[in-house]
Amino acid sequence: MTNGLDEQSLQLAYRNREDLQNAIRNAAAVGPHYIELFNHITAHILSLASEPSILEPECKKRKLDCPPTLASVASGNILHPCHGAAPPKEALLEVSDISFIMPQRKKFTVGLTQTHFYARLQGIVAGTRVAWSDIEHVFLLPIPEKSRPQQAMLLMPRQACRLQPKGASARAVPSPEPIVFTIPLQTPQPSLLAGRDAATAIELSDDFCGLFSTVVRERLVASGNPLPLTEPDAKLFAGVADGSGWVPAFRGSKEGYLFFLPRGILWAFKKPIIYFDHAEIIAVAITGVLSRTFNLSLEARATDGTSCEVEFCLLNQDYYEHITRYVARYGLLDGSLNEARRAKLLPSKTASDALSPAPSPTLPAAGDANYDDDDEDEEDYDPGSAGESDGSGTSSDEEELADAPDQDAHDDAHDPL
């Protein structure tokens, strides 16, 4: 939850309406839950502002090619103005040409202030930003399946990437979306850096990974939110391929990666990113074990305290032992053999079933029907009927022989000789 009203966005969204600004301030003073609501409403108004005259001073000539806004309010990120290509006065450091994975796949300029982390386009009207005090987790992750090793930094605001309860209302305030960007491979260059601390930042590290790790950690500590920088540890979990700590998997039709981290399990880089903190995991179950693949089910507590289960499919069998060892190492409950997952037993025999003769075990099941038909034929068998049937031709011959003398006498009576 935010610390207070976003005055900068409030004044911009309700420009020339001091009466509305004062009314919102008075209403927000009633309780902290109203502050977050008004911040979201203000951000939504800014995201709908497609006219440059709403956000910029009026001028005689309206530009037709106004720069677009970064509309990330739907995911809970707050929009703020960043006029022009020059860094804002409050920026301690800006880094240009940073490729983002979320909330949009685009290149942005990253900025760090004393209170916020932000991203904006060159000449953008508004960009996305998150307060340092609102960040709950910071991850430094390898990007899988890259020809050259590359890393990404993930900033996770509070309540982001948590399991939502089933049947959650669509009208509920959306959870903030995480910010994920790739760290450049090249060394920091003065042409890519700007801001008050740009010169000092170049001396911090020879690569951007060390630079971002240092400045982000410093800003978190300065804001009173000293979070650790979480990375995969090959000593705790190492993938069979390169020891990077990630496992390919599917969630439904989406292919992503599971990172088995020291404090939890992370699903990335497909939306929605989900983080399963060890403290929130109820049980881990391995199901659907086949010769080459298996499934992994994680049951964890949702934001409302209820349990929710997420299944990841088609994990390679090569990771089976690594995952079971990880589950045992951190004392996670193995729910693979709980009562709900066991195969249902057949009902026990009744007294009447016990008295009835058991079928012959030597008879194949597929031939039972034909065998029963043969039994019915034997039960209906009648030797007399069989004799009549077999001797029907003989009876006709005997009748013909019996009639033969009469025919001879008749022929003699009419014989003219």
Is pLDDT of 57 > 80? no
How confident is residue 262, by pLDDT bands cut at 50, 70 and 90?
very high
Distance CA(138)–CA(395), nearest Å, equals 104
Nearest to 267 by CA among 289, 238, 247: 247
Report the range out of 12-16, 62-66, 111-115, 390-394 with the highest average pLDDT: 111-115
Least confident of 25-39, 43-57, 217-231, 320-334: 43-57
Q: Is the pLDDT of residue 322 over 70?
A: yes
CATH 3.40.47.10 at 67-167+175-230, yes or no: no
Question: How many CA atoms lie less than 13 Å away from 125 in the CB half-sphere?
Answer: 21
Residue 278 pLDDT greater than 70, yes or no: yes
Per DSSP bridges, beta strands 135-142 and 229-230 are: parallel
Query: Which residues, including other chains, have CB under 8 Å from residue 225's CB and lie 6 or more apart?
Result: 132, 133, 135
What tokens appear for 402 in the block?
Answer: 């019996």
- Inform me whether the pLDDT recorded for 364 exceeds 70: no
* CB distance 256 to 148 below 8 Å: no
Average per-residue pLDDT in the chain?
Answer: 75
| Span 338-352, average pLDDT | 53
Would you say the C-alpha torsion 221, 225, 231, 236 has a positive or negative sign? Answer: positive
pLDDT of residue 347: 60
179-182 and 126-131 as β-strands: parallel, antiparallel, unpaired? unpaired
Candidate ranges 12-16, 35-39, 286-290, 391-395; pick with highest mean pLDDT: 286-290
Q: Which CATH architecture does the domain made up of 246-341 adopt? A: Roll (2.30)
365 has pLDDT over 50: no
Query: Going by C-beta distance under 8 Å and a sequence separation of 6 or more, which residues neighbour residue 285?
Result: 296, 297, 299, 334, 335, 336, 338, 341
The position carrying tokens 């031939």 is 367
- Write the Ramachandran bin of 71: left for phi over 0, alpha for psi from -120 to 50, otherwise beta: beta
Burial (CB count within 10 angstroms: exposed 0-12, middle 13-18, buried 19+), residue 394: exposed
The CA distance from 37 to 5, in Å, is 10
pLDDT of the residue at 264: 95
| Cα dist from 53 to 17, 49, 126, 177, whole Å | 15, 9, 13, 29
Length reported for the chain? 417
338, two tokens: 């709980």
- In whole angstroms, give the CA distance from residue 119 to residue 130: 9
CB atoms within 10 A of CB 381: 9
Whole-angstrom distance, CA of residue 415 vs CA of residue 182: 127
**pLDDT at site 75:** 40
Q: What is the DSSP string of 58-89?
A: --SS--SSPPPP---GGGTPEEEE--SSSPPT
Q: Where are the domains of the chain?
A: 1-57, 67-167+175-230, 246-341
pTM exceeding the 0.85 threshold for the entire prediction: no
Q: Does 246-341 match 67-167+175-230 at the fold level?
A: yes
> What are 177-220's pLDDT values in tens digits?
899 999 998 888 888 999 899 988 888 888 999 999 999 999 99
- What average pLDDT does this structure show over 127-148? 91
Q: Are 106 and 68 in contact (CB under 8 A)?
A: no
> Do residues 262 and 278 lie in contact, with contact meaning Cβ atoms separated by under 8 Å?
no
Q: Would you say 3 and 131 are in contact if contact means Cβ atoms under 8 Å apart?
A: yes
Rounded distance between C-alpha atoms, residue 402 and residue 399, angstroms? 5
The Cα-based distances of 349 to 342, 344, 359, 363 in angstroms read: 21, 15, 14, 21
CA 332 to chain centre: 21
> For 148-152, 296-300, 346-350, which range has the lowest pLDDT when averaged over its residues?
346-350
What local confidence, expressed as pLDDT, does residue 124 receive?
60
CA distances from 90 to 82, 84, 115, 182 (A): 11, 14, 9, 24
pLDDT at 43 over 70: yes
Of 36-50, 100-114, 367-381, 396-410, highest mean pLDDT: 100-114
Structure tokens at 189: 């260059």
Is pLDDT at 37 greater than 70 in this prediction?
yes
Q: What is the pLDDT of residues 158-189, one digit of tens each?
A: 888 788 777 665 555 667 889 999 999 888 88
Beta bridge partners of 80: 127
Burial class (CB in 10 A: 0-12, 13-18, 19+), 382: exposed
SS3 call for 97: strand
What is the structure's pLDDT at 245?
77
- Looking at residue 355, its pLDDT comes to 52
